[in-house]
Amino acid sequence: MTTRTLPPKCGAYNVAEEWMEGEPFSWERVHPVFSWYQTGNVNMAYECVDRHVEEGKGDKIALHYFTESEEETYTYKELQQEVNRWSNVLKAHGVKKGDFVFVFLPKHPYCHIAMLAAIKIGAVVGPLFEAFMEEAVKDRINDCDGEYLITDLKFLDRVNRDEIPSLKTVFTTDFELAGSDVSITKEAAEADDTADTVWVDLDDGLNIHYTSGSTGKPKGIIHAHRNMIQQYQTGRWVLDLKEGDVYWCTAHPGWVTGTVYGVFAPLLNGVTTVIHGSRFSAKSWYQVLEQAKVSVWYSAPTAYRMLMAEGDKTLNKYNLYSLRHILSVGEPLNPEVIHWGERTLNLRIHDTWWMTETGAQLVANLPTRTIKPGSMGRPIPGIEVAVLDDNGEILPAGKTGHLAIKSSWPSLMKEVWKNQEKFNSYFPYGPEWYIAGDLAYLDEDGYVFFQGRSDDMINSSGERIGPFEVESKLIEHEAVKEVGVIGKPDPVRGEIVKAFIALNPGYDGSEELLEEIRLFVRKGLAAHVAPKEIEVVEELPKTQISGKVLRRELKKRDTEKAG
Ligand code: WTA
0.80 exceeded by pTM: yes
| 170 in Cβ contact with 152 (< 8 Å) | no
Residue 563 in this model has a pLDDT that exceeds 80 = no
pLDDT for 521 equals 97
Residue 451's pLDDT band, with cuts at 50, 70 and 90, is very high
- The arithmetic mean of pLDDT across residues 110-136, rounded, is 97
Q: Write b or e for each residue in 107-125: b if 16 or more Cβ atoms lie within 10 A of its Cβ, otherwise e.
A: bbbbbbbbbbbbbbbbbbb
Position 310 scores a pLDDT of: 96
**pLDDT tens digits, residue range 377-436?**
999 999 999 999 999 999 999 999 999 999 999 999 999 999 999 999 999 999 999 999
Q: Distance between CA atoms of 315 and 286, rounded to whole angstroms? A: 7
What span, in angstroms and rounded, lies between the C-alpha atoms of 74 and 96? 26
CA Rg, the chain, in Å?
Answer: 23
Please answer whether residues 396 and 385 qualify as being in contact, where contact means their C-beta atoms are separated by less than 8 angstroms: no
DSSP character at residue 86: H
What pLDDT does 213 receive? 77
Contact call for residues 524 and 362 (beta carbons, < 8 A): no
Which numbered atom of ligand 1 lies nearest the CA of 354?
Answer: 5
Pairing of the two strands 169-172 and 148-151: parallel
- Measured from the Cα of 255, ligand 1's closest atom is 20
Distance (Å) of CA 20 to CA 15, 183, 368, 371: 8, 52, 10, 18
Write the burial class of residue 445 (CB in 10 Å: 0-12 exposed, 13-18 middle, 19+ buried). Answer: exposed
User: Rounded CA gap, 452 and 182, in Å?
Assistant: 46
Q: Is the pLDDT at 22 greater than 50, yes or no?
A: yes
- Per DSSP bridges, beta strands 349-353 and 363-364 are antiparallel
Q: What is the DSSP letter of 7?
A: P
Confidence bin at 54 (pLDDT 50/70/90): very high
> 329 phi and psi, to 5 degrees?
-155, 160
Helix, strand, or coil here: 192?
Answer: coil
pLDDT score for 212: 86
Cis peptide before 408 (omega within 30 of 0): yes
Whether pLDDT at 493 is above 50: yes
What lies within 8 Å, CB to CB, of 421 at 6+ separation is none
What pLDDT score was predicted for residue 1?
42
CB-based burial of residue 322 (10 Å sphere; 0-12 exposed, 13-18 middle, 19+ buried)? middle
Pocket test for ligand 1, best of 227, 249, 331, 453 (most atoms within 8 A of CB): 331
State pLDDT tens for residues 321-373.
Answer: 999 999 999 999 999 999 999 999 999 999 999 999 999 999 999 999 999 99
**CA angle, corner 55, sides to 54 and 60, nearest 5?**
95
- Asked if residues 546 and 558 have their Cβ atoms less than 8 Å apart, the reply is no
Measured CA to CA, the distance from residue 449 to residue 375 in angstroms comes to 5
pLDDT at residue 5 greater than cutoff 60: no
H or E, element range at 435 = strand 433-442
Question: Which ligand 1 atom is nearest residue 450's CA?
Answer: 3
Sign of CA dihedral 428, 430, 434, 439: negative
Percent of the chain with pLDDT over 90: 92
Which residue's CA lies nearest to atom 5 of ligand 1? 355
Query: Which amino acid, 136?
Result: A
Strand ranges, E, within 253-340? 272-276, 296-299, 325-328
Output the pLDDT for position 313: 96
**What's the average model confidence in pLDDT over 66-89?**
96
Amino acid making up residue 544: Q
The answer for residues whose C-beta is within 8 angstroms of residue 192's C-beta and 6 or more apart is: 84, 85, 88
- What is the C-alpha to C-alpha distance for residues 96 and 90, in angstroms, rounded to an integer? 8
Helix (H, G, I), strand (E, B) or coil at 184: helix
Instruction: Report the pocket of ligand 1 as residue ranges, CB < 6 Å.
Output: 211, 256-257, 329-333, 351-356, 376, 436-438, 450, 453, 459, 464
pLDDT for 177 equals 66
CA distance 440 to 262: 27
Per-residue confidence (pLDDT) for residue 2, from 0 to 100: 44
Ligand 1 atom nearest residue 257's Cα:
5
Q: Pocket of ligand 1, candidates 227, 356, 438, 447: which has the most ligand atoms within 8 Å of its Cβ, to mutate? A: 438
Using pLDDT thresholds of 50, 70 and 90, give the confidence band for residue 3. very low
> Taking a C-beta distance cutoff of 8 angstroms, is the pair 47, 37 a contact?
no
Please provide the average confidence, as pLDDT, over all residues in the chain. 95
Query: What is the pLDDT confidence band of residue 10, given thresholds at 50, 70 and 90?
Result: low
- Give, for ligand 1, the residue of 459, 460, 465 to mutate: max count of ligand atoms closer than 8 Å to Cβ: 459
Report the sign of the C-alpha dihedral through residues 235, 239, 242, 244, in that order: negative
Tell me the three-class secondary structure of 317-366, residue by residue: CCCCCCCCEEEECCCCCCHHHHHHHHHHHCCCEEEEECCHHHCCCCEECC
Residue 516: C-alpha distances to residues 200, 404, 508, 521 (Å) = 49, 42, 12, 9
Q: What angle (nearest 5°) sits at the alpha carbon of residue 552, between those of residues 421 and 533?
A: 110
Give the DSSP letter of residue 528: G
pLDDT-derived band at 545 (thresholds 50, 70, 90) equals confident
pLDDT exceeds cutoff 70 at 7: no
The residue whose CA has the least distance to atom 14 of ligand 1 is 331
Judge whether residue 42 has pLDDT over 70: yes
Candidates 487, 448, 451, 442; CA nearest to 467 is 487
Task: Please name the residue whose Cα sits nearest to atom 16 of ligand 1.
Answer: 330
